[in-house]
Structure 1
Amino acid sequence: MPRARLLTRSAALVGSLALLPLLAACGGAEGGGAADAKASETSSAPVAGVVAPAKVEVIAALTGCTAEIRIEADELREGQCKTKQGNYRITTFPAEKYKLTWLEAASVYGGTYLVGPQWAVGAKTEVLEKLRAKIGGTVQSTRGLGPGTPTPSAS
């Protein structure tokens, strides 16, 4: 069941990224919008001296892992790592705009991510803090809108 949920989430995120050209064409030029309005928290803990480059294999190597590539698409690449420090997913993007769209789509599910330029790592917070010392980035938490989350009533 968890594997099916992960596959469903991955498919939803890839599908969301496929819609990116339409969203970009319809987006306004002014600041603000959904990305600014979403609720998130960031960690202000010290970061590594260097922020990792946006390549799954390089980020994985910096964390002591050889990533198993799970998704290979034009908009993103995703690798799975299973190490003694924990399990985590490394997702890289060819441009920052794809990462921002991915994070906005992922916020529906909630979660905590270590985010850097053109990459994001998803894992439990304690794992992300260990990884942050090695690859830099900012820890960001998002709220989910899944089952159990109250929805506005229609009145």
Structure 2
Amino acid sequence: MAGVVAPAKVEVIADLTGCKVKIRTDADELREGVCHTKRGDYLITTFPEEKYKLTWLDSAAVYGGKYLVGTRWVVSAKPNLLEQLRPQLGGKIKELQGVGPAPGPSAS
């Protein structure tokens, strides 16, 4: 069911995933809500315009990790949880490369 695309509203995305969201940030350029569920915790971030999402993703790239990304929204969670949420929300799972020093060979 890849045709699903969640609208860019924190509460709607939370409802689609069966969570009662707690709004953490309510600013002009983004809204952010936290979900605590049996499946795991995740963060829903929505943006009034696509350009704000792109800026946010650029900033998040420093940390690396995987995100579920839709039109004007991003869900941050553990990769296995993102896979579970994707059929409900649509979007694409994007892997952002961290910008820090590459981990060297371990000394074990």
CA separation in 1, counterparts of 2:46 and 2:59?
A: 15
Contact 2:35 2:41 in 1 (8 A): yes
| C-alpha distance in structure 2 between counterparts of 1:106 and 1:98, whole Å | 12
Where does residue 38 of structure 2 map in the other structure?
Answer: 84
User: Shift of residue 143 of structure 1?
Assistant: 1.3
User: Which structure has the bigger radius of gyration?
Assistant: 1
Identity %, equivalent residues: 64
| Aligned AA (2:62) | V
The equivalent of 1:67 in structure 2 is 21
| Structure 2 unaligned spans of 5+ | 104-108
User: Match of 1:28?
Assistant: none
Counterpart-to-counterpart distance in 2, 1:48 and 1:54: 17
User: What one-letter code is carried by the residue in structure 2 that aligns with 1:125?
Assistant: P
CA contact (8 A) 2:32 2:44 kept: yes
* Superposition deviation, residue 49 in structure 1: 2.6
- Partners in 1 of 2:92 and 2:37 — Cα distance? 21
SS of the equivalent of 2:86 reads helix
Which residue in the other structure is 2:50 paired with? 96
Contact 2:4 2:87 in 1 (8 A): no
Q: Which has the higher strand share?
A: 2
TM-score (norm 2): 0.90
Q: Tell me the equivalent position of 1:3.
A: none
Once residues 109 and 133 of structure 1 are traced to their aligned partners in structure 2, the CA distance between those partners, rounded to angstroms, is: 26
Q: Deviations 1:52-109 (Å, cap 9, x if unpaired)?
A: 0000000000000011111111100000001011111000000000000100110001
Bigger helix share = 1
Mapped to 2, the partners of 1:103 and 1:85 lie a distance apart of 24
Whichever residue aligns with residue 111 of structure 1, its letter is: G
Instruction: Report whether the alignment pairs 1:113 with 2:87.
Output: no
SS of residue matched to 1:53: coil
